[in-house]
Structure 1
């Protein structure tokens, strides 16, 4: 009995040792990046490049400024759903024995010839969140194109690429580009938001759909053209991208003028006040509460409204 315990303990110590060395290694790497960027931005040719491309593209005439109230709600709902999607997705990926299972009621609008597949309660929660997130995304897409807000996150000129490189060099050298998100994002932000909304989100949807029980299993030609292994190979890295995006996004919001940035998104103004911070703090409290309430004890009554919940 002692040998497996020692082996397990040794494995755990090995993992902690790797993490122990990873932290200082990451700090040294960041320091080298900063020093390299400072050296590069000090070169005469690079100085001329930074002067020609300050880090942001000019927006088309008539582009709306500021953030409407609906965008604040969209931002909160997107963050809320995405946080729980990541939590439930990681649980589905790592759990060995689900605490509960869910089986869809095979009646009403959704009725199939074959019996519904029994899935874990965590997977049910993940799929429900996916559906709500997609619905929120559709509403977001409709509204940004209807109000002209799309211009702020979709490149409209080729100079966005040299400007993005300029912004990256400025960030890396700690001489951060001037922030004026109320009117115009810098080019690196614009490209990141574009990739997140129009590339990463659709990839999460199409790969998640392929992996779900809703996908037709008997469609041989379709399954051969789009194998589930390809979807799995993309779905997890997309989740990692979203985690990295959230971490960097929140860090930059707080590090580049927290009160003003939070007022942009939550307070609906370009003022420097505590209004936006207060609303942001309340939204974080809601997310934290949802994180801890997303357990079988609280999910089972809700899931039972849509199907049968069982322990095995």
Structure 2
């Protein structure tokens, strides 16, 4: 990383206010303890589980920092809390984090936030009852769909998939990599017919998106009040594994939408696979992967960031155990945060440890 990049990333902190409540408590001769609030997600969800595990790991580490998990609606809500200073740290999905940094909807302006690490990948789940009428994304037209809680990253990716499928009431994003042909002129010897108008297709009705969190989504699918649920999380997600033991389910492939999403929103979206065996699947199911970032305000002190990252890399197996099976945290993965700048303290940590 060049010195210019580090300077640019430090500039992200310009104009931010001082940390609210940064110093609280004292641990005797070891000096003051810096208290950092971490926006996680709803209770019972993977962000909340990660936040609780991180708080416990930090408390046992001996570093002079304290992590206080704060339950929230997750990604979008977390980024807004970072911006307004009500928390110092947050978890957020990569697509929502890039939207915040670039000032894309639903953020009215660029938000000066930074990343500490890309910690794991969410798998997008589209789940339906096995004996129900939905067998593809297109079948969601006009049907009730649990689309993720308001202010969550699940809601962001759901809306984008439905938009790409022409089911959100908004036009599907046009591919940017395929320009209209210009080298071959249209034939002139055969005039176009004028008596028969070109056929027009009736747009499919939009899916009926319901803003439901994971627990409410599972209940709604079980009761039949929605025909499908979207979820973005680790594999296996315990609530979905429990539902699969109660109700025959079908997990629909979404990998065909990776390309359109990458063309429209940049490469935060990747092709991943729900493996055979999980949720009782007899064969793999291709779907959409989205990274999860551990985020921070730019004015969090560098020494606190470096202490925190030492704990994250020392204890990543414990932190990810309840979140996603089989995941690893490696430096080359952790620093891949796209348009979201790394915090200067994170840059210093990675340089000091990995060169």
Asked whether the two chains share a fold, i.e. TM above 0.5, the reply is no
Output the TM-score relative to the length of structure 1. Answer: 0.22
| Higher strand fraction (1 or 2) | 2
| Higher helix fraction (1 or 2) | 1
Output the TM-score relative to the length of structure 2. Answer: 0.20
